[in-house]
Amino acid sequence: MSQQVIASTANKARSLSLEEIAEIEHEMTLYPDKKAVGLEALKIVQKHQGWVSDASLLGIAKYLDIPAADLEGVATFFNLVYRQQVGKNVILFCDSVSCWIMGCEGIKGYIKEQLAIDYGETTEDGDFTLIPVPCLGDCDKAPVMMVGPDLHRNLTPEKIDSIIKDYKNKQD
């Protein structure tokens, strides 16, 4: 990258909010090296913004004084750092082995039908994004999925209906 490009991308950086900065500063007290909090900072920003835009990423890199490319290397490494906009509720759908044995493909097909989205897509109303996730560590209650921070177990089509309804109601 030429100096010019670096300068021009730095200009596109978003200034972090005071809240974001306070939380990042707190994390920095927990590590001997501020470079260590890159992932924490990405997660903090994602918590506030819903996802990590280019402008946010550049803002964090600037704040922590680390190369944007390094931070991008971390951001793209992790499944749960969203570099694209996601819906209000992210569905993390377990498609690993025990859930597969217990019929998660049928459940996924049902969600796909009900919400008209496939993996990586967001519903038109912006309510849900569907993402596959490796084993959620609840295999004896397969099939399972998370919606936001909540775990849902022993999934059936009926359960999917009521879960979708609950999240829709919560928002209205």
- Three-state secondary-structure class, residue 32: coil
List the interface residues with other proteins, window 103-132 (CB under 8 A). Answer: none
84 binds other proteins (CB under 8 A): no
17 binds other proteins (CB under 8 A): no
How far is Cα 25 from Cα 115, in angstroms, rounded to an integer? 39
Q: Tell me the CA distances in angstroms from 101 to 52, 130, 142, one per residue in order.
A: 34, 20, 9
Binding other proteins (rule: CB under 8 A), the pick from 86, 130, 133, 155 is: 133
Binding other proteins (rule: CB under 8 A), the pick from 101, 113, 118, 120 is: 101
Q: Which does 124 bind (CB under 5 to 8 A by kind): ligand FES, other proteins, none?
A: none
**Least Cβ distance, residue 43 to other proteins (angstroms):** 6
* 97 versus 116: smaller Cβ distance to other proteins: 97
Number of residues that bind other proteins (CB under 8 A): 43
User: Hey, which residues does 146 pair with through a beta bridge?
Assistant: 92, 151
* 94 versus 107: smaller Cβ distance to ligand FES: 94
How far is Cα 157 from Cα 25, in angstroms, rounded to an integer? 44
Helices (H), the chain: 3-11, 18-28, 38-49, 54-64, 68-77, 97-101, 104-115, 157-171
User: How is residue 148 annotated by DSSP?
Assistant: T
Q: Which spans of this chain sit near ligand FES (rule: CB under 6 A)?
A: 94, 96-99, 135-139, 142, 144
How far is Cα 151 from Cα 136, in angstroms, rounded to an integer? 9
65 binds other proteins (CB under 8 A): no
Sites of contact with other proteins (CB under 8 A): 30-33, 35-40, 42-43, 66, 70, 73-74, 77-81, 92, 95-98, 100-102, 133-142, 146, 149-151
